[in-house]
């Protein structure tokens, strides 16, 4: 055996012997060099993945947070405590396990364009328990805190005061007329469900996010903080007309409420956006609520709570197909001052076939937007953005 090789072998044997002796005689050394020290984080993830989801309980799931205490800090902020200037806010997604790919796509886009710089948490809600695979894959997208919640069945089921025979007949008629979601009970339950879930109670602000949406521009300024610092309550990017067949009795129910509760109608409100004749009829304009940033204290307040209960007892969520978008929009337009509603020009956004792309060139360029300004829905024949512009101009 060559002399150099003999030296290497001798040194290796000496190191093994020293390691063995130290392991027997020094507990701290044995603990520090144990194989379990290095595999522990992965086994912790396995245990977390195997936990059963408890109904309605606050459940957090993020393998990125299960590192040992001596691990290096994450590159991105992990929660609101990382930056004390953040608002008390969260993203909210109402999704199903079958929406996994679309959920991943939306969160990835949102992280890339905005949240990787801020670290706001997520709350994901489902009417059935999330699968382990869903939680694992979605949680891997961000260092932000992520919570998964189960919607109580009594919040999702058709109320017992609804006449099912009447509701079923309405669904059949809408389905025959090719009304979107016309035959779906689940869609109606989703529209009826409001922002009252236990996991949302700790937050003041929310940003609603749907599966399969796109964010086209960098968002360098915090929309939550803008809303908070400028006395805004409701923010939108797209405004559209509602399908007439889905809301035939909605406005009569609204006018009944206005007569019964004039104390809730705000001075200098936005009635001029939703009605062309001072409230006699509804022009069907609403803010598209698949994107909305709002103060949840507004939805929890006495005006909206009374309004929702009034509409709920009319049964229109099930006898017709009242959507959450017109209900939210009418409430915001009546119970808020007009200047508390904000249009987010700078947020390039797409849901289904409709997209908002910033039209001012300086905003489009600053945001490095990937959308076509010519393809923006803002002034499409189906858009209510021109009505919003006209209403704002009329206020002077």
Residues with catalytic function: 292
The CA-CA-CA angle for residues 342, 344, 347, to 5°, reads 160
Question: Whole-angstrom Cα distance, residue 189 to residue 201?
Answer: 20
Contact yes or no for 181/189 (Cβ under 8 A): no
> What is the CB neighbour count within 10 angstroms for residue 243?
17
Here the contacts of 78-83 (C-beta below 8 Å, separation 24 or greater) are 78/119, 78/143, 78/144, 78/145, 79/119, 79/121, 79/144, 79/145, 80/119, 80/120, 80/121, 82/119, 83/118, 83/119
The 3-class SS string of 44-67 reads HHHHHHCCCCCCCCCCECCHHHCC
Question: Whole-angstrom Cα distance, residue 276 to residue 298?
Answer: 25
Instruction: Write out the H or E segment, with its range, that includes residue 179.
Output: none
């Amino acid at each position: 055996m060559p002399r150099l090789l003999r030296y290497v072998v001798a040194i290796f044997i000496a190191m093994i012997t020293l390691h063995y002796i130290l392991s027997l005689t020094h507990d701290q050394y044995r603990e520090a060099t144990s194989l379990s020290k290095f595999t522990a984080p992965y086994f912790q993830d396995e245990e977390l993945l195997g936990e059963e989801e408890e109904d309605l309980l606050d459940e957090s799931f993020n393998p990125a947070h299960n590192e040992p205490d001596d691990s290096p800090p994450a590159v991105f902020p992990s929660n609101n405590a990382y930056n004390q200037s953040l608002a008390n806010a969260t993203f909210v997604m109402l999704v199903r396990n079958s929406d996994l790919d679309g959920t991943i796509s939306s969160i990835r886009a949102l992280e890339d364009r905005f949240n990787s710089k801020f670290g706001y948490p997520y709350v994901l809600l489902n009417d059935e328990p999330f699968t382990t695979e869903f939680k694992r894959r979605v949680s891997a997208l961000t260092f932000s805190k992520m919570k998964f919640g189960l919607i109580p069945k009594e919040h999702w089921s058709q109320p017992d005061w609804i006449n099912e025979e009447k509701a079923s007949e309405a669904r059949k008629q809408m389905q025959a007329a090719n009304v979107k979601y016309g035959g779906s009970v689940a869609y109606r339950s989703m529209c009826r469900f409001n922002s009252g879930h236990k996991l949302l109670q700790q937050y003041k602000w929310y940003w609603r996010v749907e599966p399969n949406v796109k964010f086209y521009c960098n968002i360098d300024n915090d929309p939550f903080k803008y809303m908070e610092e400028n006395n805004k309550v409701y923010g939108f990017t797209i405004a559209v007309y509602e399908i007439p067949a889905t809301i035939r009795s909605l406005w009569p129910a609204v006018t009944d409420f206005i007569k019964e509760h004039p104390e809730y109608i705000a001075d200098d409100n936005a009635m001029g956006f939703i009605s062309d004749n001072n409230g006699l009829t509804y022009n069907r304009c609403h803010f598209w609520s698949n994107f909305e940033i709002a103060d949840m204290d507004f939805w929890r307040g006495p005006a909206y709570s009374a309004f929702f209960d009034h509409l709920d007892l009319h049964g229109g969520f099930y006898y017709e197909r009242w959507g959450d978008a017109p209900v939210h929009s009418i409430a915001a337009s009546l119970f808020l001052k007009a200047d508390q509603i904000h249009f987010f020009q700078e947020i390039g956004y797409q849901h289904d076939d409709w997209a908002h792309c910033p039209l001012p060139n300086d905003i489009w360029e600053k945001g490095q937007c990937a959308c076509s300004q010519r393809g923006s829905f803002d002034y499409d024949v189906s858009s209510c953005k021109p009505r919003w512009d006209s209403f704002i101009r009329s206020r002077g």
